[in-house]
């Protein structure tokens, strides 16, 4: 096989300059009604800025000749067979090129009505838009619909290209008429076009080179207009908004990972995690391979540790204390709907806002607007490709901002059956109805507490350290703002179990009562710590079964009998040895060690702090359910 | 352009790619990263290590066509040690027994049999629901239409005519029944970005990219169908200078792309990267 080798030696090229002012890529979306010439325009733009690979245009010319078609600039982009057959662009295409000033990604979005979702995909990532209108056809449905979507998606810089001027004999009056009509429409959306440029893309007029037949046009060419677009404002000066992507526990560190969507974050700053309202302070960034950064600004994917370990999970929005997002379940929003099925009230969807993902319903449809005419539509459900104003109610509280306060936390996607089918911006927060009816659900309790309940059952010999560890676990959880309660075997014996002794039957009854009490607390949403010798495996198994509704962590607090006896805090071993206590566990009564406890602590080998950490880690593991997949 | 502006640009790309990695890891049950050992793939490893604070928490997969350049096998072992990679290697032994090879078959058939088929078998074996790939939008027109998260059916088919919308950082985070999602952190990068980042971060790469006797490889694949281009660029600085000037497409030396007018389209719809 012969090796086709290409010549890569340096050559001069307008686009190959190394003297580019601004390497940061400017994303520009090209939109407009079907057949108003978007692909032809982009093909011509690439050609006229000298951005095509060698041989590309000849290759496309050859393909056209082989199929007996006239060459069109649009074919340069329409690499997919189907596009060439249907002569429309079916999906978003990104084309990279450079001017003297900077690099561009041109997003060629489709104009065909059924492919609106692709236009949204393209436009949502753009800083600026070029909208084409065919001079011979004038303003059409899609010309209006696309502008409406641009306003919703937050694309503020817009240049309108009045294309195919050759078809109207380069008539200035036709251009002015379109400009007047469309300016009025944009104004109703709160948009203003930076410019209206008359062009003939097919002939390359006013793209890079000025048009001779339109010498009346004194404004910029398209290339000049592109270079005048500004990058979106830097959001580093805004209040901090950092949605948590994940919590990593690959090694001894517990690292919070998330992208700074607005503002900036530094070590030493106090943070609040919403929803939940827990507070902690940034300890260190943990960058690999190091050294770690000193500040994470907008757009940075940060990874940091906290001074105080608090409950944190994916979805929470991290901010500074003095400038927090709102937290609530209900708000009014403007939505664009792309789903094949209409958007319906009282059907459960998933609402995705940054990394939050919650069930939500449309409680009420207030208004449906035809995007092309801006007229209201009378309908009970929201049809595909329309825009509506609705009240949304989420299943649990979420953190958000109003769109006009902070766009990045003021917008969301709507998912139906695993597919993103719409998006919206938040216009207004709604206060929830204060009087709700019926019994309080466990979900409501968990939502208020910011965590689910759990039962942590400490078993072990007298003097093994159950109470010490449980008290410290309770302290740490309490300080972290969690709902926690401790059920102590000795306390129970002074009241509830006053009638029980130490026979096997009485011990079984004691365990049964303790598990019943723990169940009541757990049902009330508490993290419940039980400290009870519970020496018999069968009794403990019954307790676990009785508490099967809740996550259950059995902690085996283990130390050799000699050591427990030497500690003898309450003097019980001495009494037992003297025969003053009958059936004392470990001396005169058996202790059946758990075979597979969730946590096994050797208190003769670990410090209290180390033991407490093992228990807290096990609890975190349950509440951050992904952890066990990759913990090493 | 100042050194600072270039640094900002690379940092922006890097931080976005890290975010894509983290979103994939948080959303999917079981992630794998195919590794071609090429420059883009090596940049991905680096970004993954940054995303996960040093160690990649999922396996890498090398689909060995048995037609790799000998130097690539050496590089594989070296890089595996440097990065502490958990590597799975798979070969389509059955196709090799059936005599599928470049001496007797066309490149599209061989690529399908020796890459796509064993990739699909490995996905079925390990039940991955997300694959991280190194494709970039600037490589090929069909790749320009890709999404950050791109769902594939159980047959590995890419339904490019009906892709989910992707906006405001919300991606298709649910794999289709029996299928998987391709996660593509390098979508926004260009070939020049890749080399400038390799230079900045000092990322290990095979030396086949550097010119010997006036020729170098710009893109690496199976040796019978991968051809060097004329180039004097013998180090990273020279490659970067060359890329700033060139207008020859990156995959010009990759024969399987050029068999028919829509060869890449056909390969990719069937599950090729």
- Among A73-77, A404-408, A529-533, whose mean pLDDT is lowest? A73-77
Give the count of domains, chain B: 2
Cβ contacts of B232 on chain A, cutoff 8 Å:
9
Is pLDDT of B187 > 80? yes
Tell me the pLDDT tens digit for each residue of A133-191: 999 999 998 899 889 888 888 888 999 999 999 999 999 999 999 999 999 999 988 88
**Is the ipTM value over 0.85, yes or no?**
yes
Is pLDDT of A403 > 50? yes
- Residues A429 and A456 reside in one and the same domain: no
End-to-end CA distance of chain A: 50
Read off the pLDDT band of A582 (50, 70, 90): confident
In a domain, residue B58? The reply is yes
Among residues B269, B60, B76, which one has the least CA distance to residue B163? B269
- Residues A416 and A451 reside in one and the same domain: no
Cis-peptide into A491, omega within 30 deg: no
Tell me the pLDDT tens digit for each residue of A483-509: 999 999 989 999 899 999 888 899 999
A601 with A459: CB under 8 angstroms? no
- Residues B96 and B65 reside in one and the same domain: yes
- Residues A543 and A575 reside in one and the same domain: yes
In a domain, residue B131? The reply is yes
In a domain, residue B240? The reply is yes
Q: Which domain holds residue A313?
A: 235-320
- Residues B60 and B180 reside in one and the same domain: yes
- Residues B47 and B142 reside in one and the same domain: yes
Tell me the pLDDT tens digit for each residue of A245-292: 999 999 889 999 999 999 999 999 999 999 988 999 999 999 999 899
Give the whole-angstrom CA distance, residue A308 versus residue A478: 12
- Residues B174 and B218 reside in one and the same domain: no
Read off the pLDDT band of A435 (50, 70, 90): low
Give the count of domains, chain A: 4
- Residues A147 and A279 reside in one and the same domain: no
Cβ contacts of A419 on chain B, cutoff 8 Å:
164, 172, 174
- Give the pLDDT of residue A626: 31
In a domain, residue A3? The reply is no
- Give the pLDDT of residue A124: 82
- Residues B150 and B30 reside in one and the same domain: yes
In a domain, residue A10? The reply is no
- Residues B235 and B211 reside in one and the same domain: yes
* Residue A274, domain CATH: 2.40.30.10
- Residues B130 and B212 reside in one and the same domain: no
- Residues A559 and A618 reside in one and the same domain: yes
- Give the pLDDT of residue A56: 72
Tell me the pLDDT tens digit for each residue of A347-377: 999 999 999 999 999 999 999 987 777 788 8
In a domain, residue A326? The reply is no
Give the whole-angstrom CA distance, residue B159 versus residue B164: 10
Most B CBs within 10 Å, among A39, A301, A356, to test the B interface? A301
Among residues A228, A226, A231, A229, which one has the least CA distance to residue A49? A226
In a domain, residue A7? The reply is no
Mean pLDDT of A192-205: 95
Facing B244 at nearest CB: one of A18, A301, A412: A18
In a domain, residue B197? The reply is no
* Residue A167, domain CATH: 3.40.50.300
Most A CBs within 10 Å, among B55, B143, B168, to test the A interface? B168
- Cβ of B246 within 8 Å of Cβ of A259? The answer is no
- Residues A457 and A606 reside in one and the same domain: yes
In a domain, residue B198? The reply is no
Q: Which residue has the tokens 């004691």?
A: A510
- Residues B155 and B56 reside in one and the same domain: yes
Give the whole-angstrom CA distance, residue A457 versus residue B220: 58
Most A CBs within 10 Å, among B27, B145, B231, to test the A interface? B145
What's this model's pTM, rounded to 2 decimal places?
A: 0.72
- Residues B84 and B48 reside in one and the same domain: yes
- Cβ of A79 within 8 Å of Cβ of B141? The answer is yes
In a domain, residue B93? The reply is yes
Q: Which domain holds residue B236?
A: 207-256
- Residues A157 and A293 reside in one and the same domain: no
In a domain, residue A5? The reply is no
- Residues B218 and B239 reside in one and the same domain: yes
- Cβ of A79 within 8 Å of Cβ of B265? The answer is yes
- Residues A287 and A341 reside in one and the same domain: no
- Residues A184 and A308 reside in one and the same domain: no
- Residues A204 and A314 reside in one and the same domain: no
- Residues A315 and A378 reside in one and the same domain: no
Cβ contacts of B167 on chain A, cutoff 8 Å:
120-121, 124-125, 153, 413, 420, 423
In a domain, residue B202? The reply is no
- Residues B185 and B216 reside in one and the same domain: no
Among residues B147, B160, B168, B161, which one has the least CA distance to residue A335? B168
- Residues B218 and B178 reside in one and the same domain: no
- Residues A339 and A487 reside in one and the same domain: no
In a domain, residue A278? The reply is yes
In a domain, residue B164? The reply is yes
**CA distance to A127, A424, A621, B178, per residue, from B146 (Å):** 20, 24, 36, 21
């Amino acid at each position: 096989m012969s090796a086709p080798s290409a010549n890569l030696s340096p050559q001069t090229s307008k686009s190959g300059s190394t003297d580019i002012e601004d390497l940061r890529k400017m994303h520009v979306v090209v939109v407009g009604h079907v057949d108003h010439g978007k692909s032809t325009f982009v093909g011509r733009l690439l050609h006229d800025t000298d951005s095509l690979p060698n041989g590309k245009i000849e290759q496309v010319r050859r393909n056209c000749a082989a199929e007996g078609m006239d060459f069109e600039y649009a074919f340069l982009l329409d690499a997919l067979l189907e596009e060439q057959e249907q002569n429309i662009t079916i999906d978003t295409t990104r084309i990279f090129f450079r001017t003297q000033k900077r690099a561009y990604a041109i997003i060629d979005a489709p104009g065909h009505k059924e492919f609106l979702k692709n236009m949204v995909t393209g436009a949502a990532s753009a800083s600026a838009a070029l909208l084409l209108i065919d001079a011979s056809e004038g303003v059409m449905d899609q010309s209006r619909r696309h502008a409406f979507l641009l306003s919703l998606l937050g694309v503020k810089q817009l240049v309108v290209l009045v294309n195919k001027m050759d078809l109207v004999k380069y008539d200035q009056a036709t251009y002015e008429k379109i400009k007047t009509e469309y300016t009025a429409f944009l104004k109703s959306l709160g948009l203003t076009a930076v410019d209206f440029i008359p062009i003939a893309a097919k002939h390359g007029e006013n793209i890079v080179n000025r048009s001779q037949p339109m010498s009346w046009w004194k404004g910029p060419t398209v290339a000049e207009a592109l270079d005048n677009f500004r990058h979106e404002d830097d959001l580093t000066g805004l209040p901090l908004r950092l949605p948590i992507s994940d919590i990593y526990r690959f090694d001894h560190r517990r690292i919070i990972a998330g992208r700074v969507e607005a503002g900036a974050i530094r070590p030493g700053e106090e943070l609040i995690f919403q929803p939940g309202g827990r507070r902690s302070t940034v300890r260190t960034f943990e960058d690999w391979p190091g050294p770690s950064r000193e500040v994470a600004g907008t757009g940075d994917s940060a990874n940091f540790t906290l001074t105080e370990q608090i409950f944190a999970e994916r979805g929470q929005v991290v901010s500074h204390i003095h400038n927090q997002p709102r937290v609530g379940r209900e708000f009014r929003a403007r939505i664009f709907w792309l789903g094949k099925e209409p958007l319906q009230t009282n059907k459960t969807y998933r609402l995705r806002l940054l990394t939050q993902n919650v069930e939500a319903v449309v409680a009420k449809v207030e208004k449906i607007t035809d995007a092309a005419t801006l007229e209201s539509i009378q309908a009970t459900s929201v049809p595909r490709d329309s825009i509506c104003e609705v009240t949304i109610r989420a299943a649990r509280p979420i953190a958000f901002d109003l769109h006009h306060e902070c766009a990045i936390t003021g917008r969301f996607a709507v998912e139906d059956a695993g597919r993103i089918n719409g998006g919206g911006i938040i216009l207004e927060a709604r206060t929830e109805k204060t009087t709700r009816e019926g019994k309080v659900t466990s979900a409501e309790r968990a939502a208020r507490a910011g965590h689910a309940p759990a039962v942590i059952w400490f078993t072990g010999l007298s003097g093994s350290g159950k109470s010490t560890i449980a008290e410290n676990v309770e302290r740490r959880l309490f300080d972290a703002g969690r709902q926690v309660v401790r059920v102590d075997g000795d306390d129970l014996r002074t009241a509830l179990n006053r009638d029980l002794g130490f026979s096997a039957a009485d011990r079984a009854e004691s365990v049964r009562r303790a598990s019943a009490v723990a169940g009541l607390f757990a049902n009330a949403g508490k993290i419940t710590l039980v400290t009870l010798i519970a020496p018999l495996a069968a009794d403990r198994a019954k307790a676990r079964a009785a508490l099967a509704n809740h996550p259950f962590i059995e902690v085996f607090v283990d130390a050799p009998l000699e050591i427990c006896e030497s500690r003898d805090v309450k003097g019980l071993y001495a009494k037992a040895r003297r025969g003053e206590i009958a059936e004392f566990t470990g001396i005169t009564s058996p202790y059946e060690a758990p075979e597979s406890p969730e946590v096994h602590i050797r208190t003769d080998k670990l410090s209290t702090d180390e033991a407490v950490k093992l228990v807290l880690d096990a609890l975190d593991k349950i509440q951050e359910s992904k952890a066990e997949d990759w913990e090493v | 352009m100042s050194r600072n502006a270039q640094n900002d640009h690379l940092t922006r790309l890097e931080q976005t790619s890290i975010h894509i990695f983290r979103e994939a890891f948080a959303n999917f049950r079981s992630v794998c990263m195919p590794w071609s050992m090429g420059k883009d793939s090596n940049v991905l490893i680096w970004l993954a290590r940054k995303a996960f604070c040093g160690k990649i928490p999922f396996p890498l997969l090398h689909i060995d066509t048995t037609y790799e350049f000998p130097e690539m096998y050496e590089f594989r072992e070296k890089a595996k040690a440097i990065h502490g990679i958990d590597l799975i290697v798979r070969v389509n032994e059955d196709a090799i027994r059936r005599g599928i090879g470049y001496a007797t078959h066309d490149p599209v058939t061989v690529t399908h049999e020796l890459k796509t088929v064993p990739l699909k078998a490995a996905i079925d074996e390990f039940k991955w629901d997300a694959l991280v790939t190194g494709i970039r939008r600037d490589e090929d027109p069909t790749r320009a239409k890709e999404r950050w998260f791109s769902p594939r059916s159980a047959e590995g088919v890419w339904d490019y005519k009906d892709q989910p919308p992707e906006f405001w950082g919300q991606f298709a985070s649910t794999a289709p029944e029996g299928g998987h999602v391709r996660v593509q952190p390098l979508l926004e990068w260009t070939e020049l970005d890749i080399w400038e980042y390799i230079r900045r971060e000092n990322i290990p790469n095979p030396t086949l990219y550097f010119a010997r006797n006036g020729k170098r490889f710009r893109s690496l694949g199976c040796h019978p169908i991968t051809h060097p281009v004329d180039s004097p660029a013998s180090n990273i600085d020279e490659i970067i200078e060359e890329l700033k000037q060139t207008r020859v497409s990156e995959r010009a030396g990759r024969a399987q792309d050029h068999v028919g007018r829509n060869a890449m389209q056909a390969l990719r719809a069937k599950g090729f990267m």
